[in-house]
C-alpha cells in the first residue's frame, strides 16, 4: 500500500509539472505575440506618416528619422531580448519538466528495482525456508525410519531369542523324556536279561554237574594204568590205584575251576556298568557318534559335563551288567569303535 501511494504521488506531481510548464509556455507565447503586434504597428506607422511630405526645417527633419530608427531598433532589441528570455524560460521550464520527468522515471525505476529486489528476496527467503523445511522433514523421516527399523530389528531379535529359548526348552524336555524312556527300557531289558541269565546259569550249572559226574564215572570205570605207572609202582594193582587217584585229582581240579568261573560270573552278573563311547567338545560331533552307534543297534545318550569353562559332551551307553558290557565292548572293537567300561554307581 505504501509503495502504491508513492507511485501515485509521483504521477500526480509529473502531471502538475507538465500543466504548469504548458501554462508558462502559453503565457510566454502570448506575451511574444503582443510584443510582435506592437512592433508591427510601430513599424507601419512611420510609413503612413512619410506619405505626406511636410517641409520643415533642416535640423528637425534630420532628427526625426533618427529618432524613429532608434526607437524601432530599441523595440526590436527589446522584442528580441524578450523572445530570447521567453525561449530561455521555456527551455528552462522544459528542462525542468524533463529533469522532473527523468527524476520521476529514476524514482520509479528505483522503486521498481527495490520492489523487484524485495520480491526476489522474499521469493529466495520463501524458497530457502521451503528447502530447509523439506530438508528437516526428510531428516526427521530418515531418523524416524531408522528408529522404527532399529526397534523392529530389536523386536525380531527378541522374538528370535525367545523362539530359540522355547525351542531349546522343548528340546531339553524331549531329551529328558527320551532319556527317561531309554532308562526305563534299559532297566526292563536288564531285569529281563538278569532273569534269563539266572535261569540259564542254573540250567548250565545243572548240565555241567551232570556232565562232570558222568565223566567221573566213566573215568573211574576206565582208569587204566599206563605202562609207566606199572613200572614205577611195581605191580598192576598199585598202578591202577595211582591212575584212579590221578583221575580223581583231575576231576577235582576241573570242578574247582568250574566253581571259580561260576563264582566270578555270578560276581560280575551283580555289577552294573556302562560304556563310554566318546568325548567331544561340540554337540554335533557327539550326535554324529550317537547316530553311528544307533545304526549298529546300540542305544546311547549324550551327557554334558563342565570342565572349567568348557562344556564336554560324552557319549555313553545305557547301564547294563558287567558281563554284557564286556561283550558289547568286544563287539564294538570289531567295528573300530573304542570304548571304556565304567562302573555304575
Computed over every residue of the chain, the mean pLDDT equals 76
Grade residue 85 by pLDDT with cuts at 50, 70 and 90: confident
Q: Residue 145 has what pLDDT? A: 92
Grade residue 74 by pLDDT with cuts at 50, 70 and 90: confident
Counting residues of the chain whose pLDDT is more than 90, the rounded percentage is 4
Check residues 66 and 270 and name the one with the higher pLDDT.
270
* Closest residue by Cα to residue 15 from 77, 100, 108: 100
How many Cβ atoms sit within 10 Å of the Cβ of residue 325?
23
Return all residues near 233 (Cβ < 8 A) that are at least 6 apart: 225, 239, 241, 242
Domain locations in the chain as residue ranges:
2-136, 271-345
Q: What whole-number distance in Å separates Cα of residue 118 and Cα of residue 37?
A: 60
Check residues 55 and 236 and name the one with the higher pLDDT.
236
Q: Which three cell numbers stand for residue 269?
A: 552278573
Grade residue 200 by pLDDT with cuts at 50, 70 and 90: low
| Residue 317 pLDDT > 70 | yes
Q: Residue 49 has what pLDDT? A: 45
Model pLDDT for residues 157-178, shown as the tens digit of each residue: 888 888 888 888 888 888 888 7
Q: What whole-number distance in Å separates Cα of residue 291 and Cα of residue 233?
A: 70
Q: Which three cell numbers stand for residue 189?
A: 531289558
State in words which class domain 271-345 has: alpha beta
Q: Residue 1 has what pLDDT? A: 46
Amino acid at each position: 500500500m505504501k509503495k502504491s501511494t508513492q507511485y501515485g504521488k509521483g504521477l500526480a506531481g509529473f502531471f502538475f509539472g507538465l500543466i504548469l510548464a504548458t501554462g508558462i509556455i502559453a503565457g510566454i507565447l502570448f506575451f511574444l505575440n503582443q510584443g510582435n503586434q506592437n512592433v508591427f504597428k510601430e513599424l507601419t506607422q512611420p510609413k503612413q506618416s512619410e506619405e505626406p511630405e511636410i517641409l520643415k526645417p533642416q535640423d528637425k527633419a534630420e532628427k526625426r528619422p533618427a529618432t524613429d530608427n532608434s526607437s524601432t531598433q530599441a523595440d526590436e532589441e527589446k522584442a528580441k531580448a524578450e523572445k530570447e528570455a521567453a525561449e530561455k524560460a521555456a527551455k528552462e521550464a522544459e528542462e525542468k519538466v524533463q529533469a522532473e520527468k527523468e527524476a520521476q522515471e529514476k524514482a520509479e525505476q528505483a522503486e521498481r528495482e527495490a520492489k523487484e529486489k524485495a520480491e526476489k528476496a522474499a521469493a529466495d527467503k520463501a524458497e530457502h525456508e521451503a528447502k530447509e523445511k523439506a530438508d528437516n522433514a526428510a531428516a526427521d523421516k530418515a531418523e524416524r525410519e531408522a528408529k522404527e527399523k532399529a526397534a523392529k530389528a530389536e523386536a525380531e531379535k527378541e522374538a528370535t531369542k525367545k523362539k530359540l529359548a522355547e525351542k531349546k526348552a522343548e528340546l531339553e524336555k524331549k531329551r529328558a523324556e527320551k532319556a527317561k524312556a531309554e532308562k526305563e527300557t534299559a532297566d526292563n531289558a536288564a531285569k529281563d536279561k538278569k532273569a534269563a541269565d539266572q535261569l540259564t546259569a542254573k540250567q548250565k550249572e545243572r548240565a555241567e554237574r551232570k556232565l562232570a559226574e558222568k565223566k567221573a564215572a566213566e573215568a573211574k570205570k576206565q582208569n587204566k594204568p599206563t605202562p609207566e605207572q606199572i613200572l614205577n609202582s611195581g605191580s598192576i594193582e598199585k598202578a591202577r590205584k595211582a591212575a584212579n587217584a590221578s583221575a580223581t585229582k583231575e576231576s577235582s581240579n576241573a570242578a574247582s575251576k568250574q566253581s571259580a568261573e561260576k563264582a566270578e560270573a555270578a560276581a560280575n552278573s551283580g555289577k552294573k556298568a556302562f560304556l563310554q563311547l566318546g568325548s567331544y567338545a561340540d554337540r554335533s560331533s557327539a550326535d554324529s557318534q550317537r547316530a553311528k552307534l544307533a545304526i549298529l543297534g546300540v542305544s546311547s545318550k549324550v551327557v554334558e559335563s563342565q570342565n572349567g569353562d568348557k562344556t564336554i559332551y560324552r557319549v555313553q551307553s545305557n547301564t547294563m551288567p558287567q558281563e554284557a558290557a564286556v561283550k558289547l565292548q568286544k563287539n564294538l572293537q570289531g567295528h573300530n569303535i573304542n570304548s571304556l567300561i565304567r562302573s555304575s554307581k
